[in-house]
Amino acid sequence: MRDERIAALEADAAQWAEKLDAQEAGQTHPGKKLSDAGTIARFYKAVADAHLAHIIKVNLASEVFTYEIDERALKRARLMDGKLILVANVPDSPPPEIVARYKALADIERGFRVLKSEIEIAPVFHRLPNRIRAHALICFLALLLYRVLRLRLKAKASPLSPERALEIARRIQYHQVTLHQRQSASGLSAITPQQKELFETVALPEPSARRL
């Protein structure tokens, strides 16, 4: 695609250069008369719009329309096709370790997105160190349980996503009430077939009022 864009731009440049040469020789053509300055500006805009200004060098200071292909930049661009370059400030680390750290970073970022979206842990601002550590521990445990849930669903080839599984589980409710300020009663909502299947899939016992 890059070579096709370069070829198309060079074809346009050749037509404009030919028309400029013809005008200088006294020939007239229908349409607006071209100028070198206008052609330079027009061609540079086309090159910039194609994101090829680092390869097609347009001489903006020239009095006549001219450009050149930076073969070194073109060769470097072709060498980079299909590759992602990682720049690190740890020269002592071997490349496989740098790649592994980069992949781990992406996984950590996905974890933060899960915490803020699916798990819905709201930001809380703490001052005391022990509260900061406790909050971080809660976030870590929540994310760990989320990962275990995802792995168990995948192991059983379940069509459910972790988000959908959590949505199904949230429908289970436990209520405790006090009657006449003396007698207390409690109960758990009935487990639906869908919820029962979910607990069997992830190898967890069904919740019951006796366990709560």
Distance (Å) of CA 143 to CA 53, 111, 116, 162, 169: 45, 7, 11, 11, 17
Domain boundary among 57, 80, 103: 80
Q: How confident is the model at residue 117 (pLDDT cuts 50, 70, 90)?
A: confident
Predicted pLDDT of residue 33:
78
Tens-place pLDDT, residues 54-102: 999 998 888 888 899 999 999 999 998 988 888 889 889 899 998 888 8
Spatial separation of the C-alpha atoms in residues 119 and 111, rounded to whole Å: 10
Q: Are residues 188 and 136 in the same domain?
A: yes
Domain boundary among 66, 100, 117: 117
Q: Are residues 152 and 67 in the same domain?
A: no
Mean pLDDT of 42-52: 93
Q: Are residues 90 and 134 in the same domain?
A: no
Q: Provide the CA 181 distance to its chain's centre, in angstroms.
A: 56
Predicted pLDDT of residue 2:
92
Predicted pLDDT of residue 129:
87
Tokens of 173: 């409710």
What's the N-to-C CA distance of the chain in angstroms?
Answer: 63
Predicted pLDDT of residue 119:
65
Distance (Å) of CA 3 to CA 15, 72, 75, 134, 185: 18, 14, 11, 57, 77
Predicted pLDDT of residue 11:
94
Q: Are residues 169 and 108 in the same domain?
A: no
Q: How confident is the model at residue 185 (pLDDT cuts 50, 70, 90)?
A: confident
Give the domain range for residue 182. Answer: 123-212
Predicted pLDDT of residue 210:
66
Tens-place pLDDT, residues 15-37: 888 888 888 887 776 667 778 88
Residue 84 phi/psi, 5° resolution?
Answer: -110, 125
Q: How confident is the model at residue 121 (pLDDT cuts 50, 70, 90)?
A: low
Q: Are residues 88 and 127 in the same domain?
A: no
pLDDT at 161 over 70: yes
- Domain tally for the chain? 3
Q: What is the pTM of this model?
A: 0.46
Domain boundary among 117, 139, 168: 117
